[in-house]
Structure 1
Amino acid sequence: MLRGGSPHRASEWTDLPDRPLEEQLAEIVQEVGLRGEAAERKRLADQQAREVQQKRWEAAMQEARAAYAHAYRVKYLGEQADAWYQASRLTEYIAAVRDHATSLPPGQERTEFEAWLVFADAHLPHLTESVSAPKLPTPPKPSGDDLKPFLRHWSPYGPRSY
């Protein structure tokens, strides 16, 4: 009895009076050979399929890294716009407070306004510095979890991980 592989002719042979096993040896050897060839073809096909899957996964990972970098930069752009908006609003607000402070008579209230303006004038350059020279950020190296939203059905941990 032969086990394993895909049978081509038979899996069992019997020693019969009109057909002894010795006469069936060629058929048995041929069956073993055919199953071996089929197993080798399957092994090669499986290996090729794994290689194709690996290449597809690598391409998906490359695309996911690019999509992650793009999304990171888009988020950063929004943060820069928010910072610019906040800096612009604060600049206008400080100018309005300065105009109001100059209209106040000397005294405690004006002194408090001027102290506040000194603080605001010292703080404002920190806000405007980050928005005055925008530059394209370099995204941090993404983790597997960072890439998951960009990989569709692939796992970031390998082509055969799910």
Structure 2
Amino acid sequence: MDRGQICDLFTEDDTPVLVKPALLHHRRFDYTPSSRLRFILRGGSPHRASEWADLPDRSLEEQLAEIVQEVGLRGEAAERKRLADQKAREVERKRWEAAIQEAHAPYAHAYRVKHLGEQADTWYQARRLTEYVAAVGVHATSLPPGQERTEVEAWLAFADAHLHILTESVSAPKLPTPPKPSGDDLKPLLGHWSPYGPRSY
């Protein structure tokens, strides 16, 4: 017979038996443990093991309790880490908020110092313009009636109105209220912190 159509089997007394392949029935399961069946646990921090195998002296079923315990331990560790990370983020956010709050004081001080310098400049400008306008006024009185005198007097009216505004702004100085600072305003005052959040570097 064609050996491509049969395979060899033997009885207990080694008598050969010819059987067609179609008559062979393959077993669906192995009845003796082998290391081919494995359980691999990935993720988390390993405590005891990450891999279990079906062994001759210890089946995979006998190791299920250990596997379940390992899953539980990793889950508990992951939850502890999650809570610790959450607490660390909260602490970091509070420190960032405190740094932002502390940066408002030097920002307000710098703004007021700048405003003070601007007020002083305005005061000096008002003094110079007052002297200049007074001199032009004396000159205008010496001019004969006519177009030139009319134009000078119109200019003097404009200058007086402008001087009035300048004088009012420097005669009663007030402590200015700084506007809400932008991120760029606070950035130089925050050290290693970002003005846009505790994790924005």
TM-score (norm 1): 0.81
Structure 2 counterparts to residues 96-135 of structure 1, below 5 A: 96-98=135-137, 104=142, 107=144, 111=149, 115=153, 116-135=155-174
Q: Which has the higher contact order (CA 8 A, sep 6+)?
A: 1
Name the amino acid aligned to 1:22.
Answer: E
2:68, 2:158 → 1: CA distance?
Answer: 95
More strand by share: 2
User: Deviation of residue 100 (structure 1)?
Assistant: 5.8
The RMSD of aligned alpha carbons is 2.6
| Structure 1 runs (4+) greater than 6 angstroms displaced | none
- Deviation at 1:18? 1.3
Deviations 1:57-88 (A, max 9, x none): 21122123333322222221111111011112
**Aligned twin of 2:183:** 144
Q: When the two structures are aligned, how many residues end up with a matched partner?
A: 160
* Correspondences of 1:1-162 after superposition (within 5 Å): 1-98=40-137, 104=142, 107=144, 111=149, 115=153, 116-162=155-201
Deviations 1:17-44, CA, capped at 9 Å, x for gaps: 1122233233323222221121111001
| 1:78-113 residue CA offsets vs partner (Å, 9 max, x unmatched) | 1111101111222233344455666x4x52699469
Kindly indicate which of the two structures has a greater share of residues assigned to helix. Answer: 1
* Maintained 8 Å contact 1:101/1:113: no
Could you say which structure has the larger radius of gyration? Answer: 2
TM-score by length of 2: 0.67
Structure 1 unaligned regions, length at least 5: none
Q: For 2:130 and 2:53, locate their aligned partners in 1 and report how far apart those are by CA, in whole Å.
A: 99
Alignment gaps of 5+ in structure 2: 1-39
How many percent of aligned residue pairs carry the same amino acid? 81
